[in-house]
Structure 1
Amino acid sequence: MIEIREVEENELMDLFDIEQISFKNSYRISTLADLYGNPSYKFLGIFNRKRLAGYIILLDSIDVYEVIKIAVSPNYRGRGLGKKLLSFVLGDLDKNLMLEVRVSNGTAINLYESLGFEKINIRKGYYGDTGEDGIVYLFTK
């Protein structure tokens, strides 16, 4: 059974495990805990049989929401859980949503474009680890 809800504090280590596997430059657990304690950030998880399968971290930036992180555990990839999670967020918005993605992340780009995100900018050399460009997308509510 799939459930989408806010991540609870005692589930941050599970989120951290997915974070470390999913990102070359993953956040430290202390960084995640700091963000979690800040009311401007919202942590949502998608759970499969009460087990965290993926998450999204949103920042309320006054006039727009920003996706800070979105990831699905490798054990659950390819099942549409990222799309379900993002669709849930898009259905609950009261303002626009922005995100940024590496130009090499074709899977994510296809997902974002299939959900109606529009490319609004390219950040040249945005990623310090590779010098790769980042694409900025906007979903207009």
Structure 2
Amino acid sequence: MTDIREIEENELMDLFDIEQISFKNSYRISTLADMYGKPSYKFLGIFNRNRLAGYIILLDSIDIYEVVKIAISPIYRGRGLGKKLLTSVLENLDKNLMLEVRVSNETAINLYEGLGFKKINIRKGYYGDTGEDGIVYLFETSFSCN
């Protein structure tokens, strides 16, 4: 049984554990705590039997939301939890959502495109650790003025 809710401050270490496993260039716990304390960031988690299985960090950038990070713990991958988490976010948007992804991350690309994200740009050499390009995706809500 899974549920999606805002992450509580005492769960940041669990988020940090998933962060370190999931990303080569992971944030420090102090960076996550600093972001958590700012009202422009929203931390949502998907929980499996009250255990954090994955998270998404959103930044409210005035006219658009940006996905700062999204990750599912390796032990929960392949179960559709990333799709469930992102779908929950998309169903509750009041403005457009933007994200970027490595060109090599086919699993994420398939997820985003399957949910209706549109490719809007390529950022050449965006990822400093590998020099890999980043694809910028946009999800337009029905509330969009465009």
Q: TM-score per shorter chain, which class?
A: over 0.9
Shift of 1:37: 0.2
Q: Which amino acid aligns with 2:11?
A: E
Distance in structure 2 (CA, Å) of the matches to 1:46 and 1:127: 27
Distance in structure 2 (CA, Å) of the matches to 1:66 and 1:32: 16
Shift of 1:61: 0.3
How many residues are treated as equivalent by the alignment?
Answer: 141
Distance in structure 2 (CA, Å) of the matches to 1:131 and 1:71: 21
Distance in structure 2 (CA, Å) of the matches to 1:127 and 1:104: 11
- Please list, as runs of the form range in 1=range in 2, the aligned pairs for 1:43-82 lying within 5 A after superposition: 43-82=43-82
Q: Which amino acid aligns with 1:42?
A: K
TM-score w.r.t. length of structure 1: 1.00
2:12 partner SS: helix
Q: Which amino acid aligns with 2:58?
A: L
Sequence identity (%): 87
Shift of 1:49: 0.1
Distance in structure 2 (CA, Å) of the matches to 1:71 and 1:2: 16
TM-score w.r.t. length of structure 2: 0.96
Consecutive unaligned residues in structure 1, runs of 5 or more: none
Shift of 1:69: 0.1
Distance in structure 2 (CA, Å) of the matches to 1:19 and 1:68: 12
Moved over 4 A (4+): none
Distance in structure 1 (CA, Å) of the matches to 2:100 and 2:136: 4
Distance in structure 2 (CA, Å) of the matches to 1:75 and 1:132: 26
Determine the structure 1 residue equivalent to 2:144: none
CA RMSD of aligned residues (A): 0.2
- Please list, as runs of the form range in 1=range in 2, the aligned pairs for 1:93-112 lying within 5 A after superposition: 93-112=93-112
